[in-house]
Amino acid sequence: MAEEGMPTPGLAVILVGSRRDSQTYVRMKKKACNEVGISSFGYDYAETVTEEELLSKISELNARDDVHGILVQLPLPTHLDEHTILEHVAPEKDVDGLHSANVASLAMQGTHGDRSEDWSDLSNLPFTVPCTPLGCLELLDRSDVDIAGKHAVVIGRSNLVGLPVSLLLLHREATVTIVHAGTQRIEEHVSQGDIVISAAGKAHLVQPNWLKEGAVVVDVGINSIDLPPEEVKEGGKAYKLVGDVDFDAVQDKCSKITPVPGGVGPMTIAMLLRNTLSACKRSIRS
């Protein structure tokens, strides 16, 4: 884009507080921006920041021509109203896809069930879809997994992953079942899935008896579990990261499965970059 005289995409990231996981995620996002030539602007605030101060900064970023994407790192401290803050981000700059306008666009279809968007090319939608669900679909597409006509089971119903990935799968003509903490005989439902996407946030929840032979599994969960003392190296971490799915136990039963870490996580960051680029292109066209 720079070679063609077009503006450089710009991403502004707002971080509140000193949570180590949030700081790590923000660091990774900024590093990824630098690697691909996206301008990144960081705004770090103490945990005591007022809502008015954050809203003022977001208003300033909404008005800046060099900022095409705005990301508010979640979770926020409890004294801040998450909904109010996310809704203050201009929908066209909401690269997390959490503004109500973008959520509604993902859920909408024609009154008679016809779909006006080309859901086979998610990079050219006229609105923003949350990054992790986009990454899940990208992994399926690049792994040559046929989605249309398949039974997809989504474990989890969050606004960040469960609900939007279910809608994307529906738009791609899958039959979708959502299971969650209130679902009875949950493993029976999951075992019917040709495609299983787990975003429950519970370590090793999914065991071999939960899956049908040849299932395709996308593990969104990232959980830490303590290591046995004999496995802790001197000066090393006393825990390891695992997914919702017991990878070692189920991998021989799956036709395809994503690892944790190193599976959905990198794709989420890649989709954030793509959302920022798409927002920049839409701003040029408008």
- Band of pLDDT at residue 282, cut at 50, 70 and 90: very high
pLDDT at position 163? 97
Q: Is residue 73 annotated as a catalytic residue, yes or no?
A: yes
pLDDT for 74 beyond 90: yes
pLDDT at position 248? 97
pLDDT at position 85? 98
Mean pLDDT of 268-280: 97
For 221-266, write each residue's pLDDT tens digit. Answer: 999 899 888 888 888 888 889 999 999 999 999 999 999 999 999 9
Q: What is the mean pLDDT of the chain?
A: 94
pLDDT for 4 beyond 80: no
Residues paired with residue 39 on neighbouring β-strands, in sequence order: 10
93, 94, 96, 194: the catalytic one is 96
For 198-208, write each residue's pLDDT tens digit. Answer: 999 999 999 99
pLDDT at position 5? 65
Using alpha carbons, list the distances in angstroms from residue 217 to 130, 133, 225, 263: 20, 14, 21, 11
For 169-207, write each residue's pLDDT tens digit. Answer: 999 999 999 999 999 999 999 999 999 999 999 999 999
Share of the chain above pLDDT 70, in %: 95
For 108-143, write each residue's pLDDT tens digit. Answer: 876 555 667 889 889 889 999 999 999 999 999 999
- Band of pLDDT at residue 2, cut at 50, 70 and 90: low
73, 150, 219, 244: the catalytic one is 73
Q: Is residue 150 annotated as a catalytic residue, yes or no?
A: no
pLDDT for 277 beyond 90: yes
Share of the chain above pLDDT 90, in %: 85
DSSP class per residue in 31-74? HHHHHHT-EEEEEEE-TT--HHHHHHHHHHHHH-TT--EEEE-S
Mean pLDDT of 51-55: 98
> By the 8 A CB rule, do 276 and 9 touch?
yes
Helix (H) or strand (E) holding 248: helix 247-250
pLDDT at position 117? 82
Supply 180's token pair. 């969650």
pLDDT at position 239? 87
